[in-house]
Chain A
Amino acid sequence: VLTQSPATLSLSPGERATLSCRSSQSIATNLAWYQHKPGQAPRLLIYDASKRATGIPARFSGSGSGTDFTLTISSLEADDFALYYCQRRDNWPPMYTFGLGTRLEIK
Chain B
Amino acid sequence: QIQLLQSGAEVTKPGSSVKVSCKASGGSISTYVIIWVRQAPGQGLEWMGGIIPMLGTTNYAQKFQGRVKISADKSTNTVYMELSSPQSEDTALYYCAKASETEVYFDHWGQGTLVTVSS
Contact = CB atoms under 8 A, between A and B. Distances in A.
Given A32-B104, A89-B104, A96-B35, A41 B61 contact: no
A96 B98 CA distance: 13
Nearest to A44: B107
Given A94-B59, A96-B35, A89 B103 contact: yes
Contacts of A42: 37, 45, 95, 97, 106, 109
Contact of B46 (A43, A93, A98): A98
A16 B35 CA distance: 33
B47 interface: yes
Interface string A59-90: 00000000000000000000000010101010
Contacts of B110: 41
B118 interface: no
A89 B110 CA distance: 20
B65 to A, nearest CB: 11
Contacts of A44: 105-107
Contacts of B45: 34, 36, 42, 85, 87, 98, 101
B94 to A, nearest CB: 11
Given A30-B104, A47-B105, A53-B107, A98 B44 contact: yes
Contacts of B61: 95
A97 interface: yes
Interface string A15-26: 000000000000
Given A87-B105, A95-B47, A98-B45, 15 more contacts: A30-B104, A32-B104, A32-B106, A34-B106, A40-B111, A41-B111, A42-B45, A42-B95, A42-B106, A44-B105, A47-B104, A48-B104, A53-B107, A83-B44, A93-B59
